[in-house]
Amino acid sequence: MLKKFDMGLFDSIFGTKAEVPATTILPVHITTSGDDSSVFSTDAAMRITTVYRCVRLIADTIGTLPIHVKRRMPDGSRVTVYDHPVARLLQQPSPLYARIDFMRSLIASEELSGNGYGYIAERDKRGYPTRVDYYKPAEVKVMKGDNGVYYHIAPLKVVVPSRDVIHFKGYAPDGILGESPISLLRDEMENCANATKCSKELYKQDLRTAGVFSTDHKLGKEATQNLFKSLGAMLRRAKTTGQPIILEEGLKYSSIQLSPEDAQFVANKLQSIDQVASAFGVPPHKVGDLTRGTYSNNEQGNLEFYIDCLRPKIEQLEEELNRKLFLESEKAEYYIDIDFRGLFRADTATRKDWYREMFYIGVFSSNDIRALEDLPAYEGGDKYYVPVNLAPADSNNSNINQTNE
């Protein structure tokens, strides 16, 4: 049952005067994004190769995409705006870091903890944000109140409304706090940690788990004890000097050995690459599992990665930036565009198919495509075509019909 509390109790919880309107009454429903209830902390998770590669791949891919302010024009076209206050902010969110650093930190936090936070620390006289600072999820507490959502920024000792926080969240069952794939991967995380530990121990032992000495002679108790002492001394000397062990009295040695191939197989099996990569929405070949990779299915995997994993995140991030950075009076006219077309530049087949489809339905001209490929325009390349026999789009229907006849 939710209880309501006064600001005195609020101060006792956070040890500070809350910067919340005096009329606001918040229910005691405080959820921290720095939840350590999972088996693995984010630092421990990032020491697992597959997790590290998934997080870096997603954060680097989205974080380095071009980002622009677009304006909807009366004729339905869209133009890039460079002199808008939000456009300037996006290129340098804070004196502390550049755009790419900020975006990568925000996205990596969302992947690891389910939530990434950027605090709008400064605004100009018109209300436009002029500075956005990144804060780690463990430094931010999210609170649901009767009048909205509020954020406690621990290092600053302030509580601010949602309009002042860019909150990039993962899948959020309650719509407020995101969940991380790591919270769903406890078994896989344990397997990965155990595999790493096992692999280290095997290599420390030169991949040898044990060995057996045997003889055809019957040994008494005293002879057995003397043999153990003698063998122990020889093994220690061999380990230190690298000298071979000379066996006498018909002794034979048989090693119980795990081959390097078997050891690698065990490690790979335990690391559960497929499960971890799947939870992050990353194709296995992107994180080093090439056992089933071919050029064809890798290209298909890339396309699915772009469409199923990256595009929803990009659209969600665009929506959050639109909500928090623009003035209410201009939201219908201006919007953020993260140009994910750059994702296709490394995928020849996908890029070619996309251009062909856009050309055939009259969206792109030849020069539009050449511009996307950083190639110069050519005369006559600005025409747009329609599907009917690829006639110029400015041709009238009668000419098209006569051509068909």
Which residue in 169, 106, 160, 100 sits closest to 133, CA to CA?
106
Could you tell me the pLDDT band of residue 216, with boundaries at 50, 70 and 90?
Answer: low
Enter the tokens of residue 53.
């590669």
The conformation of residue 363, written as its DSSP 8-state character, comes to S
d(CA 315, CA 330): 19
pLDDT given for residue 95 in this prediction: 93
Residue 133's pLDDT is 97
C-beta of residue 167 within 8 angstroms of C-beta of residue 23: no
DSSP-based three-state secondary structure for 152: strand
**Quick check: 12 pLDDT over 50?**
no
Cβ-based neighbours of 388, under 8 Å, separated by 6 or more: 400, 404
**CA dihedral of 43, 45, 48, 49, whole degrees rounded to 10:** -90
| Assigned token pair, 383 | 């025409």
Q: What rounded mean pLDDT belongs to the chain?
A: 75
List the single range of 149-163, 209-223, 279-293, 372-386 with lowest mean pLDDT.
209-223
DSSP 161-227: EGGGEEEEES--TTSSS---GGGG-HHHHHHHHHHHHHHHHHHHTTTEEEEEEE-SS---HHHHHHH
Provide the 3-class DSSP secondary structure of residue 341: helix
Instruction: Look at 50-54, 115-119, 401-405 and tell me which has the smallest mean pLDDT.
Output: 401-405
The whole-number pLDDT of residue 333 equals 95
Give the confidence band of 244 by pLDDT, cuts at 50, 70, 90.
low
**Which residues are paired to 159 by β-bridges?**
152
Q: What is the pTM of this model?
A: 0.65
DSSP at 245: P
End-to-end alpha carbon distance in the chain: 77
Cβ neighbourhood burial of 55 (10 Å; 0-12, 13-18, 19+): buried
The dihedrals phi and psi of 94, each to the nearest 5 degrees, come to: -155, 155
Most confident range, picked from 131-145, 227-241, 374-388: 131-145
Q: pLDDT band for position 18 (50/70/90)?
A: very low
Any idea what DSSP says for residue 395? S
More confident residue, 170 or 200: 170
* 358: Cα separation from own chain's centroid: 30
The string over 59-98, giving b where at least 16 C-beta atoms fall within 10 Å of a residue's C-beta and e elsewhere, is bebbbebebbbbeeeeeeeeeeeeebbbbebbeebbeeee
Rounded Cα–Cα distance for residues 327 and 343 (Å): 30
Give the per-residue pLDDT at 107: 96
Of 2-11, 48-57, 132-141, 202-211, the range with the highest mean pLDDT is 132-141
Give per-residue pLDDT as tens, 376-400.
888 888 888 877 655 665 655 545 4
Instruction: Please check whether residue 214 is in contact with residue 251, taking contact to mean a CB–CB distance below 8 angstroms.
Output: yes
Calculate mean pLDDT across residues 266-282. 71
Structural domain boundaries in the chain: 7-185, 187-272, 347-405
> How confident is the model at residue 10, as a pLDDT?
45
Q: Confidence band (pLDDT; 50, 70, 90) for 70?
A: very high
Share of the chain above pLDDT 70, in %: 60
Q: Residue 14 pLDDT more than 50?
A: no
Confidence (pLDDT) at 305: 86
How confident is the model at residue 35, as a pLDDT?
41
Spacing of C-alpha 314 from chain mean position: 12
| pLDDT digit string, tens, across residues 287-301 | 776 666 565 667 677
In the block, tokens 């430094």 appear at: 139
How far apart are alpha carbons 64 and 101 in whole angstroms?
9
SS3 percent helix, strand, coil of the chain, rounded to 5, is: 50, 20, 35
- Checking if the pLDDT of 404 tops 60, the result is no
Contacts by 329-335, CB closer than 8 A, 24 or more apart:
332/72, 333/71, 333/72, 334/69, 334/70, 334/71, 334/72, 334/81, 334/84, 334/86, 335/69, 335/70, 335/72
Starting at the edge strand found earlier in the chain, the sheet holding 30-32 runs: 30-32, 140-145, 148-153, 158-161
- Within 10 angstroms of residue 99's Cβ, the number of other Cβ atoms is 16
Read off the pLDDT of each residue in 6-31 and give the average, rounded to a whole number: 40
Is the confidence at residue 272, as pLDDT, over 80?
no
pLDDT of residue 43: 77
Give the model's pLDDT for residue 38.
Answer: 40
| Residue spans of beta strands (DSSP E) within 197-344 | 208-214, 252-257, 334-338
For 167, the token pair is 């909150």
